[in-house]
Chain A
Amino acid sequence: ETGVTQTPRHLVMGMTNKKSLKCEQHLGHNAMYWYKQSAKKPLELMFVYSLEERVENNSVPSRFSPECPNSSHLFLHLHTLQPEDSALYLCASSQVTGGQPQHFGDGTRLSIL
């Protein structure tokens, strides 16, 4: 196992469903991130965790709930999403926050019906 792994790769859900996105990193990094990537928009930072503590919540609606049980795993719990939440959700990790390269997973393509 190498790098940053995200599951599932694709997810279709209704607005009333509850689902979770999973991210796992095998790089020994201490910081993990969730990004949202929409068509024709820049990558938007959602959450940052450093040593399992949330250090940034970039004004994300409460229908997105992150969880970081340990430094290798990161989840994004989803409930009551809106059609505009359809996007590619990318997880990334870095050794520490600040001045370090971020390693990205392949993302979860989320479609809200």
Chain B
Amino acid sequence: QQPVQSPQAVILREGEDAVINCSSSKALYSVHWYRQKHGEAPIFLMILLKGGEQKGHDKISASFNEKKQQSSLYLTASQLSYSGTYFCGTEETSGSRLTFGEGTQLTVNP
């Protein structure tokens, strides 16, 4: 079951904050977040496992609400380098396939 991401696109000015959401109709074991720049490989950002947790590094963090079957990615004080397409991927059980959302295109302008 493909997760649903929102919004589909967001445009920010440097220094602004953004939130990207990922929701599923199924119970989840884990949520993965990746960023892909045009013409490049998707880069792993973080994994959140069931049990409800929050993770972060630098100014990018994420939360996972197991009961609501949704995760949110928080980008604070955005930098130009944050531009790209952000994908969430979900696993329903450990070892099951990783199913990706359609992506959120983030553009950070000077």
Contact = CB atoms under 8 A, between A and B. Distances in A.
A35 B39 CA distance: 15
Contacts of A56: 97
Interface residues of B, number: 27
Interface of B is mostly: loop
Interface string B3-21: 0000000000000000000
B32 A101 contact: yes
A28 to B, nearest CB: 16
B100 interface: yes
A43 interface: yes
B94 A45 contact: no
22 contacts: A42-B87, A42-B99, A42-B100, A42-B101, A42-B102, A43-B100, A45-B97, A97-B95, A98-B29, A98-B91, A98-B93, A98-B95, A98-B96, A99-B29, A99-B47, A102-B32, A102-B98, A104-B34, A104-B42, A106-B39, A106-B40, A106-B41
